[in-house]
Amino acid sequence: MKLKQFSLLLAIAITINVSHAQLKKQKNTSFKVGQLWYDTEGNLINAHGGTILYFKHIYYWFGEKRGDHQSQGITVYTSKDLYNWQYKGVVFEQSKDATSPIAEGGIMERPKVIYNKKTKKFVLWFHLEIRGRGYNAAEVGVAESNHILGPYKYVRSFRPNGNMSRDMTIYKDDDGKAYEIYSSRDNYDMRIVQLTDDYLNVTKKDSLLFSKHREAPAIFKYNHQYYLITSACTGWAPNEAALCVANNLYGPWKMLGNPMKGEKSKTTFDGQPAFILPLPNKKNCFIYVGDKWNPKDLMDSRYQFLPIKITAGGVAIPWEENWSLNIFDK
């Protein structure tokens, strides 16, 4: 190749690279659902199965850090607008000690962080599987920190009142009482247990909600009623979601069917519920967040932020490809 041709190719390659990097660092002004999503440094956001906590006017997005398959602890990102996220690091690490319950090689899923007003501590709950035991430990783990950005320190892990606990979520009610909602008995049962006042353990107020073989619980409260979305149990493969409603967290829960609307609604748009974010400054506005898993490369799993539509006809989650928060003003 002549020097002139080589220089031209080099210039083209540099231009493409620069514009790609620029694209990655471009400010987002909407949710591009299921697309590659970069943080403010231009790296892919790695925070799966997680939660968003709004604290002192900032959103904190906690999630599973994944390699192509393995768990790599819990990450956090911060944002002021929900579209642009700054990476703040791993807040909860796995242990190098192979005998530790949180040893590397184990699995940490579905992290949820809540703030305890009385103790002034941030408490992290997560689904824990112990190194070398696949998904058979079926425990829930607890960690705490004085600072929202961590580091979080391991407190304990266990089966709540002896019950298996796999997919789970944590719900803090308006009165400050908090609960774990969890898939139990090999995912055949959905159960609830109230947490102790310090949020570091469970109480004996532990009860069966329903036995419908469901997982991936995500919950919100609207108009004095609780709405719970779950998935069926098909590993990483997507399936049909179901919504149920109750006046009381302990039930009875009434099944309402699939809330997803649009093409691919039968497979939850090829995703699975992770959590629901009530918008702090907009009454009765909620964002459903799902994971579109890529089992071959979990790190590359995508996020599905979708607005929840509440009308006289009920609660629905219609597919939106590209939307912004002003959808709630319409």
Residues near ligand DGJ (CB under 6 A): 49, 109-110, 167, 215-216, 235-236, 272
Collapsing DSSP to helix, strand or coil, 174 comes out as coil
Taking the CA atoms of 305, 172, 61 and 103 in sequence, report the sign of the dihedral they define.
negative
**Minimal distance, residue 10 CB to ligand DGJ, in Å:** 45
Residue 134 or residue 313: which is nearer to ligand DGJ going by CB?
134
Nearest residue to ligand DGJ, by Cβ distance, number only: 235
**What's the Cα-to-Cα distance from 249 to each of 190, 212, 274, 284, rounded to whole Å?**
12, 17, 19, 19
d(CA 252, CA 191): 12
Number of alpha helices (DSSP H) and beta strands (DSSP E) in the chain: 1, 24
Q: Which is nearer to ligand DGJ, 33 or 216 (CB)?
A: 216
CB of 64 to ligand DGJ, least distance (A): 8
Query: Given the complex with ligand DGJ, which of 84 and 268 has the nearer CB atom?
Result: 268
Pairwise CA distance, residues 129 & 137, whole Å: 5
Nearest-approach distance from CB 201 to ligand DGJ, in angstroms = 23
Asked if 56 and 286 count as a contact pair (C-beta separation under 8 A), the reply is: no
Residue placing its CB nearer to ligand DGJ in the complex, 138 or 285? 138
Q: What is the DSSP letter of 45?
A: P
User: How far apart are CB 298 and ligand DGJ at their closest, in Å?
Assistant: 9
User: What b/e sequence results for 18-40 when a residue is b if at least 16 CB atoms lie within 10 Å of its CB, and e otherwise?
Assistant: eeeeeeeeeebeebbbbeebbbb
Q: How far is the CB of 265 from ligand DGJ (least distance, A)?
A: 19
Quote the least distance from Cβ 272 to ligand DGJ, whole Å: 6
User: With respect to ligand DGJ, which residue has the nearer C-beta, 180 or 215?
Assistant: 215
Residue 84 or 272 having the CB closest to ligand DGJ: 272
